[in-house]
Amino acid sequence: MTDIISSAANPLAKRVKLLANRKHRRREGAFVVEGLQPVWAAVEAGWEVETFLVAPGLLTHQPALRMVEEQERAGVAVARFATELFQRLVDRDGPSGIAAVVRSRAGGPESLDVRPGAVFVALHRIANPGNLGTIIRTVDAVGGAGVVLIGDTVDPYAPAAVKASMGSLFAVDVVHTPGAPEFFAWAAAHGVEVLATSGSADEDHWSAAYEPPLAFLLGSEREGLPADLLDRASRQVRIPMVGTVDSLNIGVAASIMLYEARRRSGSR
């Protein structure tokens, strides 16, 4: 009978806890994916799964059980946990009984496919992992071409980002540049127009011309985009607002821009 891991002192259990920390994720090149849909998405997209983490007392979804069995026969490690320990390790409401340790992918913008009509989102120093996951999910929903993270920004493999992406992390190319100069050099080399969002821009996004390939550039949740990045963008656009608010959540702002680009493209 397959051994059931019940002790938090087990090396794999300790590793899963450590991978909640960004330092350990970077050092080991791996992260934890929680829940049936995200784990399934990782497998379907061909990401390298190190180990499946399964709680037999919780996992009752027959297709998922068959998928785990197939992966195990193919040589992928499967670790089975006691229900109580699994629930302590997996930070998810109503755990479905499955998680996975997945190898991360490191890449720069040169790996992106800059095809005609491509629309990207570029994010400068954003800090909230949930916002990033939401943006990745929206990019997937509109058929966007990728996400570029600029500078010291949130980790796309943080648990909250992975959770908020709902599996879209495995369908969307997410890359990183050390800073703004590298991003703008890539955009110039590939003919990507950069539209920076600014509440003080003269041109609103409804009347602005969208000429893909393009990248919507958004700044940190607290500070927005610094003046030097605004100046380097091809154009600045704003999202019209009335009422008492003077800014939007970055995930909402990115979604508005992305769906406007999709509407302009004539896609249904």
User: Peptide bond preceding 240: is omega within 30 degrees of 0, i.e. cis?
Assistant: no
CA count, 13 A, side-chain hemisphere, 10: 16
For residues 196 and 235, the answer to whether their CB atoms sit within 8 Å is: yes
Q: How far apart are CA 165 and CA 132, in angstroms?
A: 8
DSSP 3-state percent helix, strand, coil across the chain (nearest 5): 40, 20, 40
Average pLDDT over residues 68-84: 96
pLDDT recorded at residue 93: 64
**CA–CA separation, 204 and 91 (whole Å):** 41
What pLDDT, on the 0 to 100 scale, is given for residue 94? Answer: 64
- Per-residue pLDDT at 67: 96
Euclidean distance between CA atoms 235 and 210, whole angstroms? 10
The per-residue DSSP string of 20-76 comes to TSHHHHHHHTEEEEESHHHHHHHHHTT--EEEEEE-TTT---HHHHHHHHHHHHTT-
Are the C-beta atoms of residues 155 and 129 closer than 8 Å to each other? Answer: yes
Share of the chain above pLDDT 90, in %: 81
Instruction: Give the mean model confidence (pLDDT) for residues 185-192.
Output: 97
At 206, the pLDDT band (50, 70, 90 cuts) reads confident
Average pLDDT of the residues of the chain: 92
In this predicted structure, the answer to whether residue 1 has a pLDDT above a threshold of 50 is: no
pLDDT in the model for residue 265: 79
Task: Write the pLDDT tens digit of every residue in 87-112.
Answer: 999 866 667 899 999 999 988 999 99
Band of pLDDT at residue 167, cut at 50, 70 and 90: very high
How do residues 25-71 score in pLDDT, each as one tens digit?
999 999 999 999 999 999 999 999 999 999 999 999 999 999 999 99
Among 58, 83, 53, smallest CA distance to 68 is for: 53
Q: Which of 53-57, 67-71, 191-195, 219-223 has the lowest mean pLDDT?
A: 219-223
Give SS3 for 111.
helix
Helical (H) or strand (E) element with 79: strand 77-81
